[in-house]
Amino acid sequence: MLFSFFVAMVVAPWALLKLAGKGKGPPPGEHHTEGAIGKFYRRLATPIISSKKNAKRFLAYVSIGTVLVCMLFVTKNVTVKLLPFDNKSELEVMVDLPEGATVEDTSRVLFEAASVTKSLPEVKSIQAYAGTPAPFNFNGLVRPLLSA
C-alpha cells in the first residue's frame, strides 16, 4: 500500500512531466475547453498549488491522514486479510484418471479412497464428487504443485 501511495504521489506526476515535455499550448485563437470534472478539479487544486506553503501543508495533512489510517490496522479496528479465515481441518483429494476414463471409473476410485480413509479416527465426514464440480471453497485457491 505504501509503495502504491509513493508511485501515485511521486512517480506518476514526475513521469507525466517528463513525458509531456515543454508544450507550446494551443494555437492562437484556439482554446481548450475543460469539462465539469476539470472545472471541479481546478477549483480544488488551485488553492493547494497556489503557493509552496499551501502545497507543503496539504502534503503534511495527507501524510498525517495516511499514518492515522494505517494505525487502524495496528489497533485492529480494520481487519486486513487476503483470503477468508478458513482454518478447517480438511483434506482435499483430487483424482485425475487417464484420458478416456468414465465417470463410473472415477466414482469407483473415489469410493475406494473413501473406504480407506473411513477407518482413520480423525475422519468425521467424507464428500466425494465425480462428474460434477465440488462446491466452491478457498482450499483450491492456494494449491501447491507436488510432483512425485
Best CA proximity match to 110, nearest among 134, 89, 133, 93: 93
Task: For residues 88 and 124, give the distance between their C-alpha atoms in angstroms, rounded to a whole number.
Answer: 12
pLDDT at 88 over 50: yes
94-113 pLDDT, tens digit each: 788 888 899 999 999 999 98
Residue-level pLDDT at 118: 87
The DSSP secondary structure of 40-64, one letter per residue, reads HHHHHHHHHHSSHHHHHHHHHHHHH
Best CA proximity match to 81, nearest among 29, 138, 6: 138
Residue-level pLDDT at 1: 79
The mean per-residue pLDDT over the stretch 8-25 comes to 76
CB 108 within 8 A of CB 128: no
